[in-house]
């Protein structure tokens, strides 16, 4: 794990995460990304369900991507690591690595770009949110 990792969530793959062959279904990584992201935001003081009231807007996902590097299977224990890659004026980029704990193999690498939106348009990141994101880069 890099010292730049802002958050880690360990999960065990279940049958529901896998295709009929028992290999992780590609979309399962996006659910894993969302779980660690939601928990990290909560841990630094932000709830998606309160952003509009507290910050005057909300973050929305602009884009996502995922590279599938090695197969993962049911019962594999996976550490999903979140890193803050870049913080811009209205947006931020997060990176994720999915590491199989049994052998430390990176099975997937992914990311997303989030944008702060207020009044239906991209808006500057609120200072408190920007500070939290920048703190995640330490």
- Specify burial of residue 15 (Cβ count, 10 A radius: 0-12, 13-18, 19+): exposed
pLDDT of res. 3: 58
Per-residue pLDDT of the chain (138 residues; tens, 9 = 90+): 455 899 999 999 999 999 988 899 999 999 999 999 999 999 999 999 999 999 999 999 999 999 999 999 999 999 999 999 999 999 999 999 999 999 999 999 999 999 999 999 999 999 999 999 999 886
pLDDT of res. 79: 98
Local structure of residue 135 (DSSP, 8 states): H
Closest to 6 (Cα-Cα) out of 101, 115, 126, 93: 93
Closest to 24 (Cα-Cα) out of 78, 95, 61: 78
How far is CA 10 from its chain centroid?
A: 13
Domains, in order of start, for the chain: 5-135 (3.10.129.10)
Query: How much is the pTM?
Result: 0.92
């Amino acid at each position: 794990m890099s010292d730049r990792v802002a958050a880690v969530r360990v999960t065990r793959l279940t049958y529901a995460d896998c295709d009929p062959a028992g290999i992780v279904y590609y979309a399962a990584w996006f659910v894993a990304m969302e779980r660690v992201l939601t928990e990290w935001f909560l841990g630094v003081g932000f709830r998606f369900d309160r952003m509009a009231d507290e910050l005057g807007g909300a973050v929305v996902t602009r884009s996502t991507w995922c590279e599938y590097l090695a197969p993962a299977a049911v019962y594999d224990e996976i550490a999903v690591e979140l890193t803050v890659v870049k913080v811009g004026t209205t947006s931020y980029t997060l990176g994720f690595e999915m590491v199989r704990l049994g052998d430390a193999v990176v099975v997937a690498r992914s990311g997303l770009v989030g944008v702060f939106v207020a009044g239906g348009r991209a808006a500057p990141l609120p200072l408190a949110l920007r500070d939290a994101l920048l703190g995640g880069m330490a």
